[in-house]
Amino acid sequence: MLHRRDLSSRCGTFQRALSCRPRRHHVRSVRPPRTGLVIGLQLYFPNVREVVRGIGLISETTADPNSGFWAELSDDKRSADGITALLARHRELGDRGCSRFHTRLRATIRNGEGRTSDGHITNISRSGAFVKLDSLPPAGSVIDLEFTIPVARARETALAYVIHVAENRGVGVQFIGGSDEFRSRLDEYVARLAG
């Protein structure tokens, strides 16, 4: 029996798909769903107001360093074509589809073993951030990133994937997990930075 579940906020992000084939997409995720599960997908992109939704079947899961899952899109041609078109357009623009903005927000990262390191977010976008730190986690690791979004005035925690490490400077991270409320507050803050 196949189960359907919406994984847009629990499990991963579709903003930077690792790989794309027509109707089959890889989604980076800390806790991939099991193979055979039917899920609802939601795709968010900058400068696109509507959320593209689709239904996919989890055909395969992947492990570190690119932990996630492959989703085969349903035969709903409109949704599948919409997702494929947005991903293709995103790839043409390069890997950075979201504008970055300079900021200075205190941040704490926590790795899988529970060790913490304090630093500052020096730039941020809807999809990720650069965090200046003394103790750098390795590329490909998943961390908890805690910081305060000024529009919320409350401490936020989001799962983040370490995309790259800049020795003696910090790490570039992609947000891969966070509540819908976190996404809304982040969007509001980034919109304010954009002026």
pLDDT, residue 97, reads 61
Quick one: tokens of 90? 């995103």
Quick one: tokens of 80? 């599948």
- Dist CA 123 CA 105 (whole Å): 9
Which structural domains are found in the chain, ordered by start?
4-92 (2.40.10.220), 101-194 (2.40.10.220)
- Dist CA 7 CA 32 (whole Å): 10
- Dist CA 181 CA 56 (whole Å): 24
- Dist CA 35 CA 148 (whole Å): 36
For 141, phi and psi rounded to 5 degrees?
A: -85, 160
β-sheet bridge partners, residue 58: 71
Q: Minimal CA–CA distance to 50: which of 61, 62, 40, 42?
A: 42
Q: How far is CA 144 from CA 40, 131, 133, 175, 184, in A?
A: 25, 12, 14, 10, 18
**Strand ranges in 63-154 using DSSP code E only, listed in sequence order:** 68-73, 101-110, 116-124, 128-133, 142-148
pLDDT, residue 83, reads 64
pLDDT, residue 75, reads 63
Which residues of the chain have a pLDDT value below 50? 1-21, 95
- Dist CA 34 CA 21 (whole Å): 21
pLDDT in tens, 123-170: 999 889 999 999 999 988 889 999 999 887 788 899 998 989 999 999
